[in-house]
Amino acid sequence: MKAALLQLDPIVGDLEANLARLREAAAQAVDSGADLLVGTELGLLGYPPRDLLLREGVAEACRHAAERFAEGLPPAVAALVGLPRTAGDGSLHNALALCRGGRVEGYFDKRLLPTYDVFDEHRHFTPGTGPLHFEHAGVRIGVLLCEDFWQADDVSIERAYREDPVAALAGSGCGLVVVASASPFVQGKRARQRERLRRLAGSLGAPVLAVNQVGANDELVFEGASIACDPGGALLHQAASWVEEVSVVDLDRAPIADPVPEAPESALFNALVLGVRDYCRKTGHSEVALGLSGGLDSSLVATIATAALGPGSVTGYLMPSRYSSPGSLEDARELAGRLGLQRTVELPIESLHQAARTAFPPELGEPCGITDENLQARLRGLMLMAHANQTGALVLTTGNKSELAVGYCTLYGDMCGGLSVIGDVLKTEAFSLARWLNREHARVGFDTPPIPVSSIEKPPSAELRPDQLDADSLPSYEDLDLVVALRVDQEASRERVHRESRLPSAEVDRLVDLIDRQEYKRHQAPIVLKVSPRSFGRGRPMPIASRWVPASG
């Protein structure tokens, strides 16, 4: 048997486009001799559909699309296509349609519905109880949908399900097992998933094919990297990451050598580039704009945007204030030149700043301190959003995860925008990524190292008051990022943060309080591209008005 992995990039809700692409991929696979075609989870509708599933007519339209797809298949070919389907009792299921013989022959419903991290499938779906396998071309084929197989094994949480579909397949005589997934990218996840697939193949004594969605929808990025293993767990095929691919795998072929693992910085960069590119493509934005301060974060975001969209689609705004250093302005200009940005705007905000200070109500007194600092940031945000209104460009925010964690950012200022590109990237990770980009610039498409060395090496500063440094308000980013990783990613208690960070208790209390109190800001931030196990946004829905402050927590 030859099986095809249809690793595609759907647009959520665009049934006609998704169906057309699925037909193209199926035709390509059939021309290459495939007997079995395996699509991704909810591939017809796109993942994640979220509350679009509640809209009248969506499931019915997906059923009609699957039927139209089935009509075009050759008689000897079977295909598994992901869609939501309404059962006879009115319940909605996350399903794979078995398309064969010119019709939809039956369905395989997902049994395990994740409710952790960004997933909330119990909100929409009912767990399945139907069959787990079917016969095709003389082979019994086991069918699993995403969580039926992964079972939270690739995330750091405790999750117990009442049943185990993998165990249910053991002893069933399957000669092949297929796994249809829409599994979002998280740093380090690919290696763990590959190992689990190999263990499954070895335990069942059957080849395993796992196809994964590629592309980005909203804040979620999907790597692809679909995989096929032989009965002993050896690699038969590894699809490309970050691009669509139709892979036809001969199950009788000899195993191949494992590919060289992608460097962590490479995976992170590719995920962020794909996230920006697909978000713009799927929301209809052909241009983006952002502020260029000459610092590390805006330089990194500008580099990612240029890689995603090209230098002709990125506008950089240089908006110095009286506190901006000449070096920062030169760094911003140098960055724009290295990236080849075709549009940069130099707009000093001093006159705007003075006008705003003059217009400030006398009864409130002269704006000073944090008020005056935020006034500058908000004037920059005002100009960027005006640019968006005038041109239709999408404004990218440039804050990192460390800053978002402790609120070292300004509402309606540097938080203005439609997409937070590195809001799930710690500051220490941003440093590493910038240095890697400069070392590997040719491999990622840049003629020269894109980020000025001084933007990486100079002490970070918001430059909103004289001689300001981040270190005036925050500990070293190495210490801060350890606290953020513990408190945010692992929800560690204060005691554990203190114990593992080895910071003074008073400093731990200050930072933990900052993290917890800044939730109101994060609720108003643009969506954050998710690349870590626990990002700000849908996957971490913390309360704002909360008083959870026990002595140990």
Q: What's the rounded Cα separation, in Å, for the pair 7 and 9?
A: 7
Which of these is catalytic: 62, 99, 121, 146?
A: 146
Q: CB–CB of 7/212 below 8 Å?
A: yes
Q: CB–CB of 427/481 below 8 Å?
A: yes
Q: Would strands 214-217 and 208-212 be described as parallel, antiparallel, or unpaired?
A: unpaired
280 is catalytic: no
147 is catalytic: no
User: Taking phi first (over 0 means left), then psi (-120 to 50 degrees means alpha), and beta for anything else, what does residue 152 get?
Assistant: left
Dihedral over Cα of 277, 279, 285, 288: its sign: negative
Q: Locate all alpha helices (DSSP H) within 58-188, ordered by sequence.
A: 58-71, 147-150, 165-169
Say whether 108 sits in a helix, a strand or coil: strand
Which of these is catalytic: 62, 110, 265, 401?
A: 110
DSSP designation for 369: H
Dihedral over Cα of 108, 112, 118, 122: its sign: positive
Single-letter amino acid code for the residue at 309: L
96-122 burial, b if ≥16 CB within 10 A, otherwise e? bbbbbeeebeebbbbbbbbeebbbbbe
Beta strands (DSSP E) in 110-169 are 133-136, 139-145
Q: What's the rounded Cα separation, in Å, for the pair 548 and 360?
A: 37
H or E segment and range at residue 250? strand 245-250
How far is CA 371 from each of CA 411, 424, 474, rounded to the nearest angstrom? 12, 27, 19
Q: CB–CB of 440/329 below 8 Å?
A: no
99 is catalytic: no
Which of these is catalytic: 41, 219, 265, 429?
A: 41
Task: Please count the CA atoms within 13 angstroms of the CA of 152 that sit on its side-chain side.
Answer: 15
Give the residue numbers annotated as catalytic, written as ranges. 41, 110, 146
